[in-house]
């Protein structure tokens, strides 16, 4: 029997799935036959993306406004996804952002904002989704980290700190859930041309959203006996 995992009809959550990279990851998971739920803080973005993909795929996409740094909002979102789609098999922690400031000039509120979304938000999503994966003895958590999770960059101190933390959280989680057959991956891309319009040329020095989407599906389809971690991606 093939050990390859079939994602068709499985349920995925993509945080920040309304725009940018998250929208492209959502599109690819829908193309693979998955049921996908997305969240973000901006209602218009979520509603537009849900309407666009529902028209394109002729099936229900679940979207909800949810600030992933808010514990009660995350709990409510996950309960709703369960009641709409059932058990969740794939969690893509994509929501995130940084601040371009020198460490000594970073305000306390900017520090808190970035850490609250990138680290606490990832933690809250895992805390609410993984227990049911443990019951299913099946699941994938894919954290969209960054090369800033492995390297230091000037003017990106809080972003680097948050992405290093995201990778650390994922590594610890992998150790805790390995016995239940749950895989935790970290995708660490360098710069992505993520807001490209259809008319923009591909910048060969930058990764494209589709490259990340391809890698996500590749990871989900590998034999479950394989452990794959810390995928680095760069423009070539
Ligand atoms: N672009 C790059 O070059 C690059 C490179 C490496 C890694 N990454 C990582 O890839 C991910 C996506 O980046 P992107 O370029 O697509 O950025 P983006 O276009 O700014 O999208 C970020 C997404 O996260 C959502 N988000 C932010 N804060 C949130 C919160 N508190 N709760 C829920 N959703 C939240 C945003 O929606 P709302 O604003 O509506 O909440 C948006 O959908 C990020 O984690 C980023 O760090 C990006």
Identify which of 98, 93, 90, 91 has the alpha carbon closest to the alpha carbon of residue 191: 98
Residue 43: CB within 6 Å of ligand 1?
no
Residue 189: CB within 6 Å of ligand 1?
yes
pLDDT for position 2:
55
pLDDT for position 197:
78
The best mutation among 27, 40, 118, 197 to test binding of ligand 1, ranked by most ligand atoms within 8 Å of the C-beta, falls on: 40
pLDDT for position 198:
78
Q: What SS3 class is residue 39?
A: strand
Ligand 1 atom index nearest CA of 21: 16
Residue 97: CB within 6 Å of ligand 1?
yes
pLDDT for position 1:
46
Q: How far apart are CA 146 and CA 149, in angstroms?
A: 5
DSSP letter (8 states) at residue 106: -
pLDDT for position 3:
63
**CA distance to 49, 131, 138, 153, 181, per residue, from 226 (Å):** 34, 22, 14, 32, 10
Q: What SS3 class is residue 35?
A: strand
DSSP letter (8 states) at residue 207: B
Ligand 1 centroid to Cα of residue 190, in Å, is 14
Ligand 1 centroid to Cα of residue 225, in Å, is 31
159 in active site: yes
pLDDT for position 164:
98
Any alpha helices (H) in the chain, and if so which ranges? 20-31, 43-57, 71-85, 108-115, 122-136, 157-177, 209-220
Residue 15: CB within 6 Å of ligand 1?
yes
Q: Which domains does the chain have, with CATH numbers?
A: 11-233 (3.40.50.720)
Three-state secondary structure of 167-198? HHHHHHHHHHHHHHCEEEEEEEECCECCCCCC
Nearest CA to ligand 1 atom 25: 16
Residue 19: CB within 6 Å of ligand 1?
yes
Per-10-residue mean pLDDT of the chain, 236 residues long, equals 77 98 98 98 98 98 98 98 98 98 98 98 99 97 98 98 98 98 98 84 90 97 91 94
């Amino acid at each position: 029997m093939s050990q390859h995992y079939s994602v068709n009809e499985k349920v995925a959550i993509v945080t920040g799935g309304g725009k940018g990279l998250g929208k492209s990851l959502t599109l690819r998971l829908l193309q693979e036959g998955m049921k996908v739920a997305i969240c973000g803080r901006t209602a218009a973005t979520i509603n537009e993306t849900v309407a666009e993909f529902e028209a394109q795929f002729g099936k229900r996409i679940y979207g909800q406004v949810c600030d992933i740094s808010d514990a009660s909002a995350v709990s409510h979102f996950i309960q709703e996804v369960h009641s709409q789609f059932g058990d969740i098999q794939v969690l893509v922690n994509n929501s995130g952002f940084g601040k371009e400031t020198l460490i000594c000039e970073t305000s306390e509120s900017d520090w808190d904002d970035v850490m609250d979304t990138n680290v606490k938000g990832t933690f809250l999503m895992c805390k609410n989704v993984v227990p049911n994966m443990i019951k299913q003895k099946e699941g994938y958590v894919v954290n969209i980290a960054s090369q800033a999770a492995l390297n230091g960059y000037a003017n990106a101190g809080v972003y680097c700190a948050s992405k290093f933390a995201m990778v650390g959280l994922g590594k610890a989680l992998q150790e805790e859930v390995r016995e239940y057959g749950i895989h935790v991956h970290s995708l660490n891309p360098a710069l992505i041309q993520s807001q490209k319009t259809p008319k923009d040329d591909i910048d060969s020095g930058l990764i494209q959203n589709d490259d990340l989407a391809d890698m996500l599906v590749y990871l989900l389809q590998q034999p479950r006996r394989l452990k794959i971690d810390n995928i680095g991606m760069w423009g070539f």
